[in-house]
Amino acid sequence: MIFESNQALVDFMIARGVLKTPALINGFIKVDRAHFINKKWQGLAYADQPLPIGEGQTISQPSTVAFMLELLSPESGQNILEIGAGSGYVTALLAAIVGLQGSVVAMERIKILAKQGRENIKDLLGKRVQYIIGDGTQGYKKNSPYDRIIVSAAASRIPEALISQLKDGGVMVVPVGKETQTMLRIIKKGSSFDITEYPGFVFVPLISE
């Protein structure tokens, strides 16, 4: 289904029950997906499907982003790490949700995509929102610990470095698996974890250097 506006796409995700939390809904309304879509694919900007962003990578399907963010449950004022920033779409959503008191560190390993992504969110870049080129599997220690960590590429196993940069009580959402992935929501509780699994996702691979 192709919708005519960002609002119509948001309404669809709400009607499907995938988008629920008011703060997230506001973020999705504020951040226009078309802004993050290449010229060639503009006609499909409001379709609920992944689209190419170049270099063999894709901007995720909006419902998948909504599903992940509902699991992540980001809140105003939090410090968040995002791995696999690509177009910057999720970065912009996170920035809208954490607000002026929060901070977001986004990481992307492919330079060309990072250049594009940084351009897409240039109005947000500064101290509060950073878009960094590098291997996200190592995380970004400088700004740690994080309240929330979201990984938008398929990991073969839970990235250890990221777990160590997560606050106690913090939440990490990461798709894990080879051909298809299971979405994991990991809540750190001291030295143990609460893990909930949601099977049936397909992501481009998380590539460590």
Least distance from C-beta 125 to ligand SAH, angstroms?
Answer: 16
Least distance from C-beta 195 to ligand SAH, angstroms?
Answer: 21
Residue from 138, 183, 185 nearest 164 by CA: 138
Please say if 63 is a catalytic residue.
no
Least distance from C-beta 154 to ligand SAH, angstroms?
Answer: 9
Least distance from C-beta 152 to ligand SAH, angstroms?
Answer: 4
Q: Which of 74, 86, 139, 175 binds ligand SAH (CB under 6 A)?
A: 86
Note whether 153 binds ligand SAH by CB under 6 A. yes
Note whether 81 binds ligand SAH by CB under 6 A. no
Distance (Å) of CA 162 to CA 159, 167, 206: 6, 10, 13
Note whether 94 binds ligand SAH by CB under 6 A. no
Note whether 107 binds ligand SAH by CB under 6 A. yes
Strands (E) across the chain are located at 51-54, 57-59, 79-83, 103-108, 129-133, 146-151, 166-176, 181-189, 192-201
Smaller CB separation from ligand SAH, 108 or 147: 108
Residue from 162, 140, 160, 164 nearest 151 by CA: 162
Region of 37-45, 96-104, 129-137, 172-180 interacting with ligand SAH (CB under 6 A): 129-137
DSSP state of 140: -
- The CA radius of gyration of the chain, in Å to the nearest whole number, is 16
Confirm if 61 and 89 have CB atoms less than 8 A apart.
no
Helix (H) or strand (E) holding 143: none
* Token duo for residue 50: 């992944």
Question: Considering only residues 178-207, where is the footprint of ligand SAH by CB under 6 A?
Answer: 204, 206-207
Residues forming the site for ligand SAH (CB under 6 A): 53, 57-60, 83-87, 89-90, 107-110, 113, 135-137, 152-153, 204, 206-208
- Residues catalogued as catalytic: 60
